A and B are shown apart, each in its own frame.
Chain A
């Protein structure tokens, strides 16, 4: 059974204080690892897909990395507008063949001015 564990559950940072969120996973044959941002009352917003160990992707102050067992979402010099819940999900196998995404419970990030 695919499993995704995110840590910490909640993280409070000061503006400009860089940190990382962790996503540990157990999956048979990783096809993709997804990161989403979710604001209160909104649907998850797609950030990145990572496909293989060693891959990195960046978007503004966010950088996602992937190893064989975990992914990190690094936040550099965060701003209050980065406050949100960050979700991680894994995909094993092709979607057309019935594979589905398994989500972690998320990390709630608060950035104080």
Chain B
């Protein structure tokens, strides 16, 4: 039972380069989220997908795009990386059944933009 899997775990980019962070979950959850975590800022929502086929902006969407490829996979793309995007990125998936909510995170991608 893998839960939420993120790749890569570490990445160094030069300013202006692009890359895609991958996330997959095997729990049949409907909702998937991308967060960034910075010292002193807590977890901030970048984009989310409440269900397959839908995506919406969170608190800090500028400079990012997302794709909900299918129910399992939700990717985050940086089109032109900037040093301000140096952060740790977490993917999460949630199941909200009405009676209860389960919410699980991946292990994170540590991104450095130089």
On A, residues with C-beta under 8 Å from B are 31-32, 34, 36, 41-46, 49, 51, 87, 89, 91, 94-98, 100-101, 103-106
Instruction: Give the 5 A-B residue pairs with the shortest CB-CB distance, closest first.
Output: A43-B105, A95-B96, A105-B42, A103-B43, A95-B31
0 or 1 for each of B81-109: is its CB under 8 Å from A? (1 = yes): 00000000010001010101111111110
- B108–A42 contact, CB under 8 A? yes
Number of interface residues of B (CB under 8 A): 28
Say whether, besides A96-B50, A101-B103, A87 and B43 are in contact (CB < 8 Å).
yes
Interface SS majority for chain B: strand
> How far apart are B88's CB and chain A's nearest CB, in angstroms?
9
On B, residues with C-beta under 8 Å from A are 4, 30-31, 33, 40-43, 45, 48, 50-51, 56, 58, 90, 94, 96, 98, 100-108, 110
Considering residues A43, A46, A89, A100, which has the most beta carbons from chain B within 10 angstroms of its beta carbon? A43
- B50–A98 contact, CB under 8 A? yes
> How far apart are B13's CB and chain A's nearest CB, in angstroms?
20
CA distance A15 to B103 in the complex (A): 30
Chain A residues closer than 8 Å to B33, beta-carbon distance: 100-101
Say whether, besides A43-B106, A43-B108, A96-B96, A91 and B42 are in contact (CB < 8 Å).
no
